[in-house]
Amino acid sequence: MMLTDLTIAQAAEGLRKRDFTAAELTNAHVKAIDALNGRLNAYITVTADQAKEAAAQADKTLSAGDAPTLTGIPLGIKDLFCTKGVRTTAASRILGDFTPTYESTVTANLLANGAVFVGKTNLDEFAMGSTNLTSAFGVVENPWRRNGDDTPLVPGGSSGGSAAAVAAHLAMGATGTDTGGSIRQPAAYCGIVGLKPTYGRCSRWGTIAFASSLDQAGPMTRTVEDAAIMLAAMAGHDAKDSTSANIAVPDYRAACGRSLKGLRIGVPAEYRAPGMSAELQAVWDRGVAMLREAGCEIVDVSLPHTKYGLATYYIIAPAEASSNLARYDGVRFGDRREGASLNELYERTRHDGFGEEVRRRVLVGTYVLSAGYYDAYYLRAQKIRTLIQRDFTQAFESVDVLLTPTAPTAAFGHNEKPEDPVQMYLNDVFTVPASMAGQPALSVPVSLDSTGLPLGLQLIGRHFDEETLIAVGSALEKAADFTARPTFRAGAAA
């Protein structure tokens, strides 16, 4: 078995048993990145030198004993997290060669836990997108291919670089951020596990903001257990983020393999969207059967405001983004285009610095907050958001976890993207409601479709009950026994 094939749990054990060193583990990943990143473009920045230094340090810590869990584990970091001394781009031209003097709380937590960062992963510009086609640093290729078809596919988004890196074994795990599905959807497209924790579980400090009331960092890994291990290291209260929850971080890993006897699994009727493929419906049904088999009771539930989720999301998220992105003005950091006046400087800097999708969302957001439109759009969207939150609260009175598909389709080709941006937004239809309500949600790969591409199912849990989510997720993972691996991966490159 190659070192890059190990899970985080296995590698942590191997390191402690001295089966191999952290240096060897990191080198194996750096080599894999060298071999494959040219093709997959999963990383914007590879930090091989820093990674090797960190691995050497990890080996010292390991030989001293009592090393924290992630000591020596090579991780990819979505390039939305500010990393001290390492260029941070948000996949946008506007940040130029911005190099933070500070470390985001989440990455600082991971570093304190001993993790080794091998690089900054690609994403949709400012995390706005579901394809990784909007990155200023080029598209990411999904490591998977359809059977007998070499068409390059999208990895999903926005955390597409992280998903591709983990799927191709270019990192043992990666951080993602999820605003409307940006962890879960690419996890499903790339056949890996993605966990969006409860809003407030991980600090947002030092993570470049897209939509503040929705953004949440989480782990992307190849197993549910690995996600549990990483989340435990990432999460925790942070006085620097007023929306961070002051709730103790439990032992998530202990929830793996926990008995599901007596748990009630809700199947929301509204997620049976018209036009859902028979194949996806079948995967969902299989998931239901697996959980029933594992001892769960299956309950039909209703989340009546689901159909408004997407429209509401595409008002609230752009509204917040239009304000959050105002600071990228070329005055204090990042790229600047000079102008004859201050307004011209702003216009040129922002026109040239932002890509088309970001500009579109800033314009939409500005529009829905404008005098005369605020009540009709933003305020109404907030009201519906409250109703969506109430849907979940009511559903969780009778069930413990909800089971739905993660995305309406499997990954599609770079050239098969819908022309109409609104069609594109439909990709988020199953992931957005949980984001709007701040619920934790987990995507687990369950099977391949008829073309050989992975499909994932989504579990949605109660606020701050990631443990139950992890318990159910690990049972689903075990039952599904998803062992397929992508075409492009470390040691198996075509």
Radius of gyration, alpha carbons of the chain: 21
Minimum separation from the CB atom of position 321 to other proteins (A): 11
| Dihedral angle computed from the Cα positions of residues 151, 79, 315 and 365, in that order, rounded to the nearest 10 degrees | -110
Minimum separation from the CB atom of position 198 to other proteins (A): 15
Task: Name the residue nearer to other proteins (CB basis): 110 or 325.
Answer: 325
Fill in the amino acid letter for 292.
R
Query: Can you say whether residue 80 is alpha, beta or left, with left for phi > 0 and alpha for psi between -120 and 50 degrees?
Result: alpha
Q: Verify whether residue 31 is a known catalytic residue.
A: no
The distance between the two most distant Cα atoms of the chain, rounded to a whole number of Å, is 70
Q: From the candidates 78, 130, 203, 435, which is the catalytic residue? A: 78
Indicate the DSSP class of residue 132: S
| Dihedral angle computed from the Cα positions of residues 400, 427, 7 and 175, in that order, rounded to the nearest 10 degrees | -90
Indicate the DSSP class of residue 141: P
- Three-state SS at 178: strand
Residue 305 CB partners (closer than 8 Å, separation 6+): 384, 387, 388, 390, 391, 433
Minimum separation from the CB atom of position 156 to other proteins (A): 23
Task: Name the residue nearer to other proteins (CB basis): 345 or 479.
Answer: 345
Minimum separation from the CB atom of position 466 to other proteins (A): 21
Q: How far apart are CA 401 and CA 229, in angstroms?
A: 21
Task: Name the residue nearer to other proteins (CB basis): 20 or 333.
Answer: 333
Q: Specify the DSSP element, H or E, that contains 278.
A: helix 278-293
Fill in the amino acid letter for 386.
T
Minimum separation from the CB atom of position 328 to other proteins (A): 8
Task: Name the residue nearer to other proteins (CB basis): 61 or 212.
Answer: 212
Q: How far apart are CA 201 and CA 159, in angstroms?
A: 19
Minimum separation from the CB atom of position 260 to other proteins (A): 35
Task: Name the residue nearer to other proteins (CB basis): 370 or 394.
Answer: 370
Q: Give the number of other CB atoms < 10 A from CB of residue 344.
A: 12
Minimum separation from the CB atom of position 52 to other proteins (A): 27
Q: Verify whether residue 307 is a known catalytic residue.
A: no
- Strands of the sheet containing 173-178, edge to edge, are 43-46, 116-121, 74-78, 173-178, 216-221, 193-196, 441-448, 454-461, 401-405, 264-268, 297-301
Relative to beta strand 454-461, strand 401-405 is antiparallel
Task: Name the residue nearer to other proteins (CB basis): 379 or 484.
Answer: 379
First and final CA of the chain: distance in angstroms?
Answer: 18
Minimum separation from the CB atom of position 331 to other proteins (A): 6
Structure tokens at 223: 């197993």
Task: Name the residue nearer to other proteins (CB basis): 243 or 277.
Answer: 243
Q: From the candidates 104, 130, 135, 182, which is the catalytic residue? A: 182
Structure tokens at 107: 């990455």
Relative to beta strand 74-78, strand 297-301 is unpaired
Q: How far apart are CA 405 and CA 187, in angstroms?
A: 12
Minimum separation from the CB atom of position 388 to other proteins (A): 16
Q: How far apart are CA 274 and CA 434, in angstroms?
A: 20
Task: Name the residue nearer to other proteins (CB basis): 82 or 457.
Answer: 82
Q: Verify whether residue 259 is a known catalytic residue.
A: no
Crossing angle for the helix pair 224-234 and 466-480, nearest 10 degrees? Answer: 160
Q: From the candidates 158, 159, 162, 435, which is the catalytic residue? A: 158
Task: Name the residue nearer to other proteins (CB basis): 343 or 415.
Answer: 343
Task: Name the residue nearer to other proteins (CB basis): 103 or 477.
Answer: 103
Tell me phi and psi for residue 317, to 5 degrees.
-65, -50
Minimum separation from the CB atom of position 460 to other proteins (A): 22
CA angle 203, 206, 212 (to 5 degrees): 65
Q: How far apart are CA 91 and CA 397, in angstroms?
A: 41
> By the criterion CB under 8 A, which residues form the site for other proteins?
81-82, 88, 90, 95, 98, 100-102, 104, 204-209, 211-213, 239-243, 319-320, 322-323, 325-327, 329, 331-333, 342-343, 346, 366, 369-371, 374, 378
Enzyme catalytic residues: 78, 158, 182
